[in-house]
């Protein structure tokens, strides 16, 4: 039983878990997670702002509970995330008086965080998202404080520090819109440079925040092939399938603020119509057929949440919507897409 079991000869199937569902789960939720999935990621609570909100303060209780849970249930534990521009406190980049840290001071701070966090879970976290979202589509490096204050080799250093702190962990570069040809080329060149310089990397994370009409599945497939050709394992790290109207003109445009709510942008508040349910099912089948076709390249497929009610897609990029992006509904009942996907096996 369980979706992970259905794909056990192909890839891990994982879920992302929130603080609430880790610490105070609804009845039966932990049993469901342990039965259905064999990989797990913390949705927010291993991000810098949660784990390390002040220079000398670490909060370990949620992450410790998560790692214990994974260990107890034999799940592949994914650490998300060591270095990112988002959900990272401002103090990380600055002196107390507000002046920016020098390159070497910021590298030392990064190393200290990676040593502390990855070191604590050495041998117990199987894969780390070492760097998240460092590339800005086809415009090259994202102009984050990491890039601005250190330079492009902040990525190399992060991977080197992570390997030293947790030698057995698979080290991943993770990003969204990884089907985008410009980003694909940039990522492949980055990995090739790593290989030449001896910088460690084991996998590429394709987040997989997809929708009914995007992205182009052929471009996504080209990326799976290109990333695998570098010698990296491909991980689908944050799969969900948005069924609501697209709220920005160009996927991948910089989103600084959530778009304002309007009823027009929330058409299924009363429930998902059968024809859209059907489209969701067909689209999930199409994606899992692609994953199965590349089962020798794909190490893991992780959903970004378990039930529709808990998905971040109810709040992004428009707050207060009713979305249906996952395989379990708001009562944790299997949706038609669950049955269709599992019966591919």
Q: How far is the CB of 75 from ligand XIL (least distance, A)?
A: 19
Residue 308 near ligand XIL by CB under 6 A: no
Among 312, 317, 334, 336, binds ligand XIL (CB under 6 A): 312
Q: Of these, 10, 36, 43, 136, which contacts ligand XIL (CB under 6 A)?
A: 43
Q: Which residue is nearest to ligand XIL (CB)?
A: 312
Can you tell me which of 5, 19, 26, 44 binds ligand XIL, judged by CB under 6 A?
44
User: Measured between alpha carbons, how far is 2 from 334 in angstroms, rounded to an integer?
Assistant: 11
| Nearer CB in complex with ligand XIL: 44/148 | 44
| Residue with smaller CB distance to ligand XIL, 44 or 94 | 44
Phi, psi at 239, each rounded to 5°: -70, 130
How far is it, in rounded angstroms, from Cα 264 to Cα 48?
36
Q: Can you say whether the dihedral through the CA atoms of 264, 251, 207, 5 is positive or negative?
A: positive
Spatial contact of 141 and 107, defined as CB atoms under 8 Å apart: no
Angle at 227 between CA 75 and CA 296, to 5 degrees: 55
The one among 15, 126, 132, 323 contacting ligand XIL by CB under 6 A: 132
Nearest residue to 79 (alpha-carbon basis) of 170, 208, 176, 2: 170
- Within 201-220, the residues that bind ligand XIL by CB under 6 A are 207
3-state secondary structure of 160: helix
Selecting among 43, 133, 238, 310, the annotated active-site residue is 238
CB of 253 to ligand XIL, least distance (A): 15
CA 182 to chain centre: 20
Q: Which is nearer to ligand XIL, 88 or 281 (CB)?
A: 88
In terms of CB distance, is 2 or 211 closer to ligand XIL? 211
Pattern 227-266, binding to ligand XIL, x per CB under 6 A?
A: -----------x----------------------------
- Among 221, 262, 235, 265, smallest CA distance to 247 is for 265
Pick 43 or 242: Cβ nearer ligand XIL: 43
Concatenated DSSP letters of 210-264: EESS-S-HHHHHHHHHHHHHTTPEEEEEEEEEE-SPP-SSSTTS---SPBPP-GG
Q: Are 205 and 237 in contact (CB under 8 A)?
A: yes
Query: Min. distance of Cβ 312 from ligand XIL in angstroms?
Result: 3
Closest distance between ligand XIL and the C-beta of residue 327, in Å?
Answer: 17
Burial of 240 from C-beta contacts in 10 A (0-12 / 13-18 / 19+) = buried
- Greatest alpha-carbon span in the chain: 59
Known catalytic membership, residue 189: no
How many residues sit close enough to ligand XIL to count as binding (CB under 6 A)? 6
Least Å distance between CB 305 and ligand XIL? 7
Report d(CA 157, CA 152) in Å as an integer: 10
For the bound state, the minimum distance from the C-beta of residue 49 to ligand XIL, rounded and expressed in Å, comes to 10
Residues that bind ligand XIL in the complex, under the rule CB under 6 A = 43-44, 132, 207, 238, 312
- Which residues carry out catalysis? 238
């Amino acid at each position: 039983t369980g979706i992970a079991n259905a794909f056990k000869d192909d890839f891990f199937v994982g879920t992302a878990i929130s603080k609430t569902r880790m610490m105070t789960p609804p009845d039966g939720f932990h049993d469901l997670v342990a039965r259905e999935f064999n990989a797990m990621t913390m949705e927010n609570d291993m991000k810098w702002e949660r784990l390390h909100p002040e220079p000398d303060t670490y909060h370990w209780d949620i992450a410790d509970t998560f790692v214990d849970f994974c260990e107890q249930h034999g799940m592949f534990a994914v650490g998300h995330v060591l270095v990112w521009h988002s959900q990272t406190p401002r103090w990380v980049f600055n002196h107390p008086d507000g002046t920016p840290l020098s390159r070497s001071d910021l590298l030392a701070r990064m190393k200290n965080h990676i040593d502390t966090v990855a070191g604590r879970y050495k041998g117990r976290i199987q894969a780390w998202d070492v760097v998240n979202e460092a590339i800005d589509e086809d415009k090259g490096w994202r102009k984050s404080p990491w890039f601005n204050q250190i330079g492009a080799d902040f990525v190399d250093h992060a991977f080197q520090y992570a390997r030293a702190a947790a030698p057995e962990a698979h080290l991943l570069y993770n990003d969204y819109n990884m089907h985008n040809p410009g980003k694909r080329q940039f990522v492949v060149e980055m990995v090739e440079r790593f290989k030449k310089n001896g910088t460690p990397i084991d996998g590429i994370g394709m987040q997989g925040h997809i929708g009914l009409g995007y992205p182009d599945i052929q471009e996504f497939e080209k990326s799976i092939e290109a990333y695998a050709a570098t010698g990296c394992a491909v991980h689908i790290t944050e799969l969900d399938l948005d069924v609501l109207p697209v709220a920005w003109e160009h996927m991948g445009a910089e989103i600084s603020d959530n778009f304002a709510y309007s009823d027009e942008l929330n058409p299924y508040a009363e429930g998902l119509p059968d024809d859209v349910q059907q489209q969701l099912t067909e689209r999930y089948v199409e994606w899992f057929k692609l994953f199965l076709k590349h089962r020798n390249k794909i190490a893991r497929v992780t959903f970004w949440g378990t039930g529709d009610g808990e998905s971040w897609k109810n709040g992004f990029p428009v707050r207060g919507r009713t979305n249906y992006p996952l395989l379990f509904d708001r009562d944790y009942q299997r949706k038609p897409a669950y049955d269709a996907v599992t019966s591919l096996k």
